[in-house]
């Protein structure tokens, strides 16, 4: 009987681990880039195939790999996070995350990210970075990149 109870106790933990929230996925990415080696390979597990393909194409066309990786490592811009909001589509395969904060000169900054679920993982498919003049202009709800771009 003890083995059954242990299995039943662990089952909810594994079920939750498979259903990672967008913000948790973002935090994992943010933590990963702190130790980045300026190589595109290290970012592949965080971006959708289309984004990776575009990055590789840019490198092939002559853009320096460290520049491309730096652009994809956008969370380093934000020095102090103040809020985040997320939403997912009814089917659960697409979601948007907005992360607000301040960059190094204490100017407000907002990341609006479009995520897609591929093989059980949330991957960034599109992004929009806004730098409004006032903190009051930061969004107070989750915005997809196209929504954010239209509002700034």
> In angstroms, how far is CA 110 from the centroid of its own chain?
12
Whether 14 has a pLDDT exceeding 70, the answer reads: no
| pTM passes above 0.85 | no
111 assigned to some structural domain = yes
Residue 38: φ, ψ to 5°: 55, 40
Distance, CA of 64 to CA of 78 (rounded, Å): 23
Number of domains in the chain: 1
13 assigned to some structural domain = no
Domain residues for 114?
20-151
84 assigned to some structural domain = yes
CATH of residue 37's domain is 3.10.450.50
End-to-end C-alpha distance for the chain, whole angstroms: 60
85 assigned to some structural domain = yes
Mean pLDDT in residue range 66-75: 88
143 assigned to some structural domain = yes
Q: Is 78 helix (H, G, I), strand (E, B) or coil?
A: strand
99 assigned to some structural domain = yes
pLDDT 10s digits, 19-59: 569 999 999 999 888 876 667 878 889 999 999 999 999 98
């Amino acid at each position: 009987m003890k083995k059954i109870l242990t299995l039943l106790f662990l089952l909810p933990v594994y079920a939750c681990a498979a259903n990672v929230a967008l913000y948790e996925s973002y935090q994992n990415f943010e933590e990963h880039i702190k130790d980045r080696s300026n190589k595109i390979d290290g970012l592949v597990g965080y971006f959708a195939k289309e984004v990776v393909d575009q990055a590789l194409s840019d490198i092939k066309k002559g853009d320096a790999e460290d520049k491309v990786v730096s652009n994809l490592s956008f969370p380093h811009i934000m020095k102090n996070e103040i809020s985040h909001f997320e939403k997912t589509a009814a089917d659960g395969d697409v979601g948007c995350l907005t992360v607000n904060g301040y960059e190094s000169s204490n100017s407000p900054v907002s990341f609006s990210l479009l995520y897609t679920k591929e093989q059980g993982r949330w991957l960034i498919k599109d992004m929009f970075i806004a730098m409004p003049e006032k903190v009051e202009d930061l969004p107070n709800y989750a915005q997809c990149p196209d929504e954010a771009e239209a509002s700034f």
